[in-house]
Chain A
Amino acid sequence: MIRTPTPWLIHGSFFIGLLFAIIPLPEMVQAARPYFLAMLLAYWLMEAPLRVGLGTAFIVGLLADLTSATLLGEQAMRLVILAFLVQRFRARLRFFPLWQQALAIGLLLVNDRFVVVLIHLIIGAPQTSWLSWLAPALGVILWPWLFVLLDMVRLRLRERT
C-alpha cells in the first residue's frame, strides 16, 4: 500500500511555494529565483501520486498566476507540462540516486524555461533576462535539500500519528 501523507502537509508546502514565488528578493537574485513551486509539485507527484496529479498542477498554477503578475494560465500550463513529464518518468525518477534525480529535475526546469520563452514569444511579451537561466541550476542544487527535508517532515508526522 502507499502511505499517503496528510493533505495538510501538501497544502502547506504549496502555500509556502506560492509565497516563495512572490517574496521580494534583491534585484540581482530576482531573475534567478528557483521555481520552488515546480520542485514541490515534482516531489509530491513522485511521493503521493494518488493525491497530486495534473489537476493539482493546474489549480496550483492558476493560484500562482493569480498571486503573481503572470498571464492568467501561463504558470498553469507550465506546471501541467512539468507534471505530465514527471508522471511519465515517475518510475525511473523515483529510483534514481539523489544526485541523478536532481539532474533530472534540473532538465525538467530547463524545459520549463523553454516553455516560458515559447509562451512569451507567442504573446509578444518581453523575454526575461539571461539570469533566469540560472534558476534551473539553483534548482538542481536545492533539490536534494528539499527532498531530504520533506522526507524528514513526513517521517516525523508519520511517527506522531
Chain B
Amino acid sequence: MAYAGKNTSRISDSALSTLPLLLYLAMAVGLMVADQRHAYGQIARQKFSLVTEPFWWLASSPVRAFRYARENLVFRSQLENDNRQKRQDLQVAMARIHRLNAVADENVRLRQLLGGTRGYQLNVQMVSIIDIDLDPFRQRLVLDAGSGNNVQIGQALIDSGGVLGQVVEVSKRRATALLITDPDHAVPVQVARSGLRAIAFGTGRSDALILPNIPQSADIREGDVLITSGIGGRFPAGFPVGVITGIRSDKLRLFVIADARPAAHLERGNEVLLINNLPPAIDVGPPAPERVPPAEDKVLAGETINGATP
C-alpha cells in the first residue's frame, strides 16, 4: 500500500505536474481579473442562487436553532419579571379604556339630549369638483353632478373644514355652487362662544369673510369660532364657518365690523360633501314627514354617508 502510494507521488513529483498547476493558476487568475473588472462573480452567484440559497439556509440553521433555544429556554425569573411588567401595563391600559368608556357614555347621553331639538342624522353625498374659478368676482365651483344625481338648488356644500357654499344652478350633469366667500353670498352665523347671531358676507377673496352691522356692545372678539346658526333653513346648524381674525368699527362708528377667515379649505381638495334631505333646522310646527333618501346614482362617483355631526 505504501509502496503504491509512493509510486503515485513520484509521478506527481515529476516536472510534468507543474503544467496542470500553471494551467489551473492561470484559470484562477483569469477568473479573478474577470470578476474584478466586470463583477462576473455577482452574475455567477445570481445564476447559481437556486443552489446557493438552500446552502446558505442550511448554513444559517445553527444560528436559527440557537435563537429558538434562547427564546424557549428563558429563565423563570426573567419570565416573572416580564409578567409583572406586562400586568402593570395592562392595568394602566384598562384604566384608560374605562375612562374612555365613561366619556363615550356621556357623549351618547348628551347627544340624546340634543337630539330632541336638532336632527343629527346627516345624509351627505360626495361630489367631485370639476373646475375652481377663483376669480375675484365669481367665487364659484362647478360640481360633477347635476339634477340627474338629485342635486337641487339650495343644497348646502361642506368639506372637512366647514361650510363651503351652496348650489345655485343645476343642469342635467353639472351644478354650480356659490362659495361663502362670493360677494353675493351671505350665511347666517352664530358665535359659538357667546351665541351672538350675525350674518357673514363674502368679500370676493377666498380667505376672508366680513360680518358687518354688529352692535358695539356685542360679545365678539378675535379668535371666536363662527358656526352656522341654522336660521333661514338653508344651512344646517352647527357647522363651522370661520374664525374671527379682527374687529374694527365702521365708518359711522355706530357698529362694529368683524373680519373672519373661512374654516372650509376653499383652495384645496377636489371633493366636497353635498348635504341631502335635511329636516328643517328649526323645529317649529308639526314634525316634518320622513323623506326617502335619494337613490344612489351610478354615474356619480359619490356615496351616501350616514353620520352624526359633533
Contacts and interface: CB of A to CB of B under 8 A. Distances in A.
A79 B31 CA distance: 14
B54 to A, nearest CB: 11
Nearest to A57: B24
B20 A54 contact: yes
Given A72-B35, A73-B30, A54 B5 contact: no
A76 B25 CA distance: 8
Contacts of A61: 28
B25 A80 contact: yes
B41 interface: yes
A9 interface: no
Interface in A23-79: 23-24, 49-50, 54-55, 57-58, 61-62, 65-67, 71-74, 76-77
A94 B5 CA distance: 9
Contact of B34 (A54, A67, A72): A72
A123 B28 CA distance: 14
Nearest to B66: A24
B17 A2 contact: no
A54 B21 contact: yes
Contacts of B10: 91
A57 B62 CA distance: 27
A2 B1 contact: yes
A67 B56 contact: yes
Interface residues of A, number: 36
Interface in B49-75: 52, 55-56, 58-60, 62-63
Interface stretch (A81-89, A128-136, A140-148): A81-89
Contacts of B12: 49, 87-88, 90
A72 B59 contact: no
A73 B27 contact: yes
Contacts, number: 101
A76 B62 contact: no
B93 interface: no
Nearest to A61: B28
A120 to B, nearest CB: 11
A58 B55 contact: no
B45 A49 contact: no
Contact of B52 (A3, A67, A94): A67
Contacts of A54: 20-21, 24
A50 B35 contact: no
Interface residues of B, number: 37
Contacts of B97: none
A19 interface: yes
B31 A72 contact: yes
Interface string A91-113: 10011000000000000000000
A94 B8 CA distance: 13
A66 B13 contact: no
A117 interface: no
B40 interface: yes
Contacts of B1: 1-3
B246 to A, nearest CB: 67
A94 B1 CA distance: 12
Given A66-B44, A66-B48, A73 B28 contact: yes
A12 to B, nearest CB: 13
B36 interface: yes
Contact of A76 (B31, B44, B55): B31
B40 A72 contact: yes
A69 to B, nearest CB: 8
A137 interface: no
A122 B32 CA distance: 11
B213 to A, nearest CB: 80
Interface of B: 1-2, 4-6, 8-10, 12-13, 17, 20-21, 24-25, 27-32, 34-36, 40-41, 44-45, 48, 52, 55-56, 58-60, 62-63
29 contacts: A2-B4, A18-B55, A19-B55, A22-B56, A23-B63, A24-B60, A49-B5, A49-B8, A49-B9, A54-B21, A55-B20, A58-B27, A66-B45, A72-B32, A72-B35, A72-B40, A72-B41, A72-B44, A73-B34, A74-B28, A74-B32, A76-B31, A77-B24, A77-B28, A80-B21, A80-B25, A91-B9, A94-B2, A94-B5
6 A-B pairs with the lowest CB-CB distances in the bound complex, closest first: A73-B31, A77-B28, A72-B41, A72-B35, A73-B32, A73-B28
